Amino acid sequence: MANISVDYLGQELKSPLIVSSSGLTKNIDQIVNAANFGAGAIVLKSLFEEQILFEAHKTIGQGHDYPEAIDYIKNYSRHNSVSEYLDLIKSARSEVDIPIIASINCVSDDEWVDFAREIEKAGAHALELNMHIVPSCANTKPTEIEETYFKIIEHIKPKLKIPIALKIGYNFTSLPWFINQLKFRGINTFVLFNRFYEPDINIDTLHIVSSSVFSRDTDIKHSLRWVGLISGLVEDIDISASTGIHDAAGVVKQILAGAKTVQLCSTLYQNGMKTIETINTELKEWMTEHKFNDLKEFRGKMSYNNIENPQVYERAQFMKYFSSLE
């Protein structure tokens, strides 16, 4: 029987399949359901700093003249959000026997992130920092954005004993350098990549709307190249692949590229939690067919430094492979 267990964030997972942070992981019933179908771990729905601040400002309204009241409402909103989140962690720990990973969406290094210690006390096995800063100011240098990431890590890391994973996007000038810098600051687990809100335009109403919130299986291309590159170029880190993984084939591809775990979301919304069981079964069947007894026997087999022609991961133009279409 193929062994699909794996060590991730200091915990032994019975499967490399992790339910990604989403609306699917914000209530106990769904969490229990995912565990029953064989999920290796659960990442709870992110607590968003921006959402907390938005709710506080919405409550305050416009033109409030009392700074003390404004501070009170901000702190009240934050306290309520955090308290509910800590209760979810405690409930999840009592209901399932798989690792529970908390998630915070950070955009600043403000003092509110101190509640990460409360997350640890509540029983979370690990913390996933979900970070993305949109470079929306023409006067902001790339180094300033990178420095914000570094400050947040330096602010949170010393406060926790539980492991931290960093979930980021791929829009960096030099992603291998950036990940190396984060590694030097104590982060050795990375989730590649974040899936972001993407705006669209309704040409009939002339309103900004959201594009599709679900990924497609073809979206795996966004992370597969970088999982293969980073796993080969940066030593002693673990990678959890995310976005566009809809079936067992996607899972196998990401592990071959070097991922230790994979995170599922859209396919669970579209096909139900039983998809976890199906993928686990098909993953074992693939391993048996190819005579692999353990995930580590083929993890990274197709990464940047393990293939004959690593330049295929570097290629940015189509000309060599699609010249016949011209």
pLDDT, tens only, 122-148: 999 999 998 888 788 899 898 999 998
Give a yes or no: residue 244 inside a domain. Answer: yes
Q: Which one-letter amino acid corresponds to residue 184? A: F
Is residue 111 situated within a structural domain?
A: yes
How buried is 243 (Cβ within 10 angstroms: 0-12 exposed, 13-18 middle, 19+ buried)?
buried
- Chain mean pLDDT for the chain: 86
DSSP state of 232: H
Burial degree of 279 (CB within 10 A; 0-12, 13-18, 19+): buried
Is residue 1, in this structure, part of any structural domain at all? no
Assigned domain for 24 exists = yes
Q: Which structural domain range is residue 125 located in?
A: 6-325
CATH code at 85? 3.20.20.70
* Structure letter (DSSP) for residue 294: B
Read off the tokens for 69. 């009241």
Q: What share of the chain is helix, strand, coil (3-state, %, to 5)?
A: 50, 15, 35
- Residue range 189-212, pLDDT digits in tens: 999 998 766 788 999 999 998 777
Q: If pLDDT is split at 50, 70 and 90, which confidence band does 111 have?
A: low
Give the pLDDT confidence of 235-252 residue by residue, as tens digits.
999 999 999 999 999 999
Residue 15 belongs to a domain: yes
- Between CA 191 and CA 188 the distance in angstroms is 10
Percent of the chain with pLDDT over 90: 63
Averaged pLDDT, 222-238: 95
Supply 303's token pair.
């990464």
Identify which of 4-8, 57-61, 222-226, 305-309 has the greatest average pLDDT.
4-8
Per-residue pLDDT averaged across 39-51, rounded? 82
Mean pLDDT of 19-29: 95
Residue in 117, 116, 113, 130 with CA at minimum distance from that of residue 166: 130
Tell me what pLDDT residue 322 has.
54
Q: Cα 89 vs. chain centroid, distance in angstroms? A: 18
Domain count, the chain: 1
What is the C-alpha to C-alpha distance for residues 142 and 158, in angstroms, rounded to an integer?
Answer: 25
